[in-house]
């Protein structure tokens, strides 16, 4: 992380009580490593943001990643998640974890509404138990908690076009979050099944003659392909509904959000390219392909008109 970025963010540590519990530069470097390791797409997209906002949005991502890893990587119990949630809510001068310290600074500077942070943690807590969603509406609620809340926390950091209200932009952020999370679910069907988790709604499984046990067993026949095609169409509709909302954001953030959305949407193309073999390989977009897509992405983003 460049020195200019660090100096910019250090300006909002002045109100913190003396005796900071952690070194800011080390905390920022920890967040940067987390993003480079866990989300090349997000790292690529946020490089399009100006320095101060880039480092702030990456602090948000590092916090969200740490929350997600509590269950998926560390196997935390619900009680442990709740204790971590209490720690998250503490002010910067009471933080001892570098990622939570950085996020607390960012949250304070940009005035992020704590209810969205709580919503995210409630979604993480629900992952302690094996996933079981009967209907699409139930899965949408889960997607809201673990992904739409991230978009809602991002809005104060990214900023809005003049005259646009948070309420107007939030509708599109919610839809985009659901699209992104559904893309994650489709990409990770195999990985999740290996952990005994199935996020696809049971009503959708029944629609195509499948059972939960079929998903756990890695069944990949014409029924599964039909299911995946159905879910991919649903995800693409969500992206189409959400993309106009990018034009409601401040100009400096539009390219990054648009790149993140469209590069993630491209994962759906990659799932199709591997013939829906999500049990055997993880669909992803290569770095060279992302670079090749970038000019077209920018043309698309800056052609959007505010839907107001």
- Same topology, domains 22-128 and 130-303? Answer is yes
In the CATH scheme, what is the homologous superfamily, with its name and number, of domain 22-128? Farnesyl Diphosphate Synthase (1.10.600.10)
pLDDT band (50, 70, 90) for residue 21? low
- What CA–CA distance (Å, rounded) separates 131 from 204? 15
pLDDT band (50, 70, 90) for residue 142? very high
Q: Which of 303, 292, 301 is nearest to 255 (CA)?
A: 301
What sign results for the dihedral spanned by CA atoms 227, 119, 259, 240? Answer: positive
- Could you write out the DSSP letters of every residue in 95-120? --SHHHHHHHHHHHHHT--HHHHHHH
Mean pLDDT of 152-157: 98
> Is 18 a residue whose pLDDT tops 50?
no
* In contact, 120 and 145? CB cutoff 8 Å: yes
In the CATH scheme, what is the homologous superfamily, with its name and number, of domain 130-303? Farnesyl Diphosphate Synthase (1.10.600.10)
Can you give the pLDDT at residue 231?
98
> Is 17 a residue whose pLDDT tops 60?
no
Angle (CA) 182-32-73 rounded to 5° is 50
- What CA–CA distance (Å, rounded) separates 55 from 58? 5
What is the value of pTM for the model shown? 0.89
Of residues 294 and 38, more confidently modeled: 294
Q: What is the mean pLDDT of the chain?
A: 89
pLDDT band (50, 70, 90) for residue 120? very high
Residue extents of the structural domains in the chain:
22-128, 130-303
């Amino acid at each position: 992380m460049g020195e200019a970025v660090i100096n910019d963010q250090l300006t909002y540590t002045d109100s913190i009580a003396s005796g900071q519990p952690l070194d800011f530069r080390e905390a920022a470097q920890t967040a940067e490593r987390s993003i480079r390791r866990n989300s090349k797409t997000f790292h690529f997209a946020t490089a399009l943001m100006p320095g101060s906002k880039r480092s702030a949005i990456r602090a948000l991502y590092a916090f969200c990643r740490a929350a997600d890893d509590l269950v998926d990587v560390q196997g935390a119990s619900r009680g442990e998640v709740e204790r971590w949630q209490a720690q998250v809510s503490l002010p910067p001068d009471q933080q001892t974890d570098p990622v939570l310290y950085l996020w607390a600074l960012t949250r304070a500077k940009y005035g992020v509404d704590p209810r969205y942070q709580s919503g995210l943690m409630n979604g993480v807590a629900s992952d302690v138990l094996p996933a079981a969603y009967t209907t699409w509406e139930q899965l949408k609620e889960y997607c809201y908690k673990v992904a739409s809340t991230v978009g809602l926390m991002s809005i104060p950091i990214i900023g809005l076009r003049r005259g646009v209200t948070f309420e107007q932009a939030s509708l599109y952020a919610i839809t985009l979050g659901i699209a992104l999370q559904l893309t994650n679910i489709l990409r990770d069907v195999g990985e999740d099944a290996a952990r005994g988790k199935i996020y696809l709604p049971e009503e959708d499984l029944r629609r195509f003659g499948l059972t939960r046990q079929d998903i756990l067993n890695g069944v990949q026949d014409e029924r599964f392909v039909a299911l995946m095609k159905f879910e991919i169409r649903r995800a693409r509709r969500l992206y189409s509904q959400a993309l106009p909302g990018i034009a409601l954001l401040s100009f400096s953030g539009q390219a990054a959000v648009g790149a993140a959305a469209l590069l993630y949407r491209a994962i759906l193309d990659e799932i199709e390219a591997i013939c829906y073999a999500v049990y055997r390989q993880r669909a992803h977009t290569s770095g060279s392909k992302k670079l090749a897509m970038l000019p077209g992405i920018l043309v698309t983003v800056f052609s959007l008109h505010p839907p107001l």
